[in-house]
Amino acid sequence: MLAIIDYGLGNLGSVVNAFRYLDVEVVLTADKEDILAAEGIILPGVGAFGEGMKNLRKRNLDKVVINSVQKGKPLLGICLGLQLLFSSSEEDPDIKGLDLIKGRVKKFDEQNISKIPHIGWNQIELTDNDPLFKGLKKPRNFYFVHSYYVVPQNNQFSLGKTIYSSEKFTSVVRKNNIWGIQCHPEKSSKTGLKFLQNFSEVVK
């Protein structure tokens, strides 16, 4: 079973529906016991970094996620969920992130990019092979909606890159049992569904 963390933000229903379409057992939950009992964790989300962290902390879910990951449980962060894995964000600089991956979240530079947010289909170029991309041939097109992107302190955790206008940003990260992806695989047709299925198989 996978636990999809409900912290009051984002398109949780579409993530749940995607896994159920794949016949993967999931539970949408804010309950500590459910998360501890799950084989893997999904941290989705749409919205602001600060509000996301406040909601996690208000429900004491930040500690549950950190402790679970430290014990080796697989975690996948999606969109805002990816950004919350990092230390801090320009969006809410006074609020600390989960700090599971050292680094920060930056906003696209409005002087270099005419259209923010980045919305639509775009490609992910991998810097290394990974089981979550098994069976996904080039071009790996996913659906993006975001104004901020992650900058890992250690570039070795940058698993995939995407080019948007003049920016080449990290769109996928991996650190041991932690994965994060900036796009929305649950909205990315067959490619996204295959990605989510691969995560469920890694968890087994």
Residues labelled as active-site residues: 79, 184, 186
Closest CA to 61 of 25, 34, 95: 34
Beta-carbon contacts of 6 under 8 Å, excluding residues fewer than 6 positions away, are 12, 28, 29, 30
* Rounded Cα gap, residues 23 and 21, in angstroms: 5
What is the spatial distance between Cα 16 and Cα 26, in angstroms, rounded to a whole number? 7
List the one residue out of 34, 28, 36 whose CA is nearest residue 186.
Answer: 28
The CB-side HSE value for 126 (13 A sphere, CA atoms) comes to 14
Task: Give the whole-angstrom CA distance, residue 175 versus residue 165.
Answer: 27
**In b/e form, how buried is each residue of 72-92, taking b as 16+ CB within 10 angstroms?**
ebbbbbbbbbbbbbbbbbebb
